[in-house]
C-alpha cells in the first residue's frame, strides 16, 4: 500500500493511505468488472473534488448496517 500511496497522483482528494484503501474498496464493491474500475473511480474522485456525496450502493449498504435486507430502495 505504501508503494501505491507514494506513486499516486498528488492531486487526488485523499489525505492518507487509509482513505485510498477505502476508496479502492468502494470501487471494487461498486463493480465486479475490472475494466470498469477506472471509470467508476474517476466518477468518485470527481464527486469528492466537488465536495459531493458518493451516493453509491456500497456506502448506502454500509450505512444501513444490520437494517440492510438486500433492498436499498426508499420506503414510500
Is the pTM for the entire model greater than 0.85? no
- Chain segment 27-40, per-residue pLDDT in tens: 999 999 999 999 99
- Chain segment 15-30, per-residue pLDDT in tens: 999 999 999 999 999 9
Domain boundaries, the chain: 2-67
- Under a CB-based contact definition with an 8 Å cutoff, are residues 13 and 49 in contact? yes
C-alpha cell at 21: 484503501
- Under a CB-based contact definition with an 8 Å cutoff, are residues 58 and 68 in contact? no
Amino acid at each position: 500500500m505504501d508503494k501505491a500511496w507514494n506513486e499516486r497522483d498528488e492531486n487526488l482528494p485523499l489525505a492518507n493511505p487509509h482513505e485510498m484503501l477505502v476508496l479502492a474498496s468502494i470501487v471494487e464493491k461498486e463493480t465486479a468488472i475490472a475494466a470498469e474500475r477506472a471509470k467508476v473511480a474517476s466518477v468518485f474522485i470527481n464527486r469528492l473534488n466537488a465536495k459531493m456525496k458518493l451516493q453509491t450502493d456500497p456506502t448506502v449498504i454500509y450505512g444501513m448496517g444490520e437494517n440492510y435486507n438486500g433492498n436499498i430502495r426508499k420506503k414510500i
